Chains A and B, each alone.
Chain A
Amino acid sequence: GIQVEQSPPDLILQEGANSTLRCNFSDSVNNLQWFHQNPWGQLINLFYIPSGTKQNGRLSATTVATERYSLLYISSSQTTDSGVYFCAVPNTGGFKTIFGAGTRLFVKA
């Protein structure tokens, strides 16, 4: 099945800093989502982005489907951005969703 790798696994930022999180996947996909899991465990949709670029406030995401990666940009980070960021794609030929292991972000005040 498809493999999903996220990097970095852990990231510590000073409030106000910018960061880029990466998601690599091993096969073609027609669906990719980024999620933020807050410290209370709730998973929140950030982007549905099978290709192209989207922006939502301080966050933006770009997926280059032909090169099998997606990037999540966080600008002017805030302490509330802390948590784990996951990307998720459908398994090859099916509906089973494969999540990456996540990037754990901590933003210091």
Chain B
Amino acid sequence: GAGVSQSPSNKVTEKGKDVELRCDPISGHTALYWYRQSLGQGLEFLIYFQGNSAPDKSGLPSDRFSAERTGGSVSTLTIQRTQQEDSAVYLCASTSEYEQYFGPGTRLTVT
């Protein structure tokens, strides 16, 4: 079936505004990850969802960041009061047992 999709592909926002990023995982995948990738850098883990278990939020950089996963499928990552240092590509991956499959990412630019 279709791969992981993310929307929007690009988002430009003003400092201080809230943004919502969306991830649609591969159908049937029970686990979902969010990562952040700053320009020229590696991937930074943000949060992990597995089924109905409590998410692993250990990678969220501040309390301005939150995420939810509704119905075990679609996930939204919300960043409140955005700052310029939040500018990055936000990547979502869903997992079939062990292998992670990535979406194309959302490029966030905070001006």
Q: Residues of A with Cβ closer than 8 Å to B?
A: 31, 33, 35, 41-45, 48, 50, 86, 88, 94-102
Contacting residues, chain A, for B50 (C-beta < 8 A):
95
Evaluate contact between A97 and B42: CB separation under 8 angstroms: no
Evaluate contact between A98 and B105: CB separation under 8 angstroms: no
Interface residues on B, range: 20 to 34
Evaluate contact between A97 and B89: CB separation under 8 angstroms: no
Contacting residues, chain B, for A101 (C-beta < 8 A):
41-42
Q: Residues of B with Cβ closer than 8 Å to A?
A: 31, 33, 35, 41-43, 45, 48, 50, 56, 58-59, 89, 91, 93, 98-102, 104-105
> What is the distance, in angstroms, from B83's C-beta to the closest C-beta of chain A?
22
> What is the distance, in angstroms, from B10's C-beta to the closest C-beta of chain A?
11
Contacting residues, chain B, for A31 (C-beta < 8 A):
98
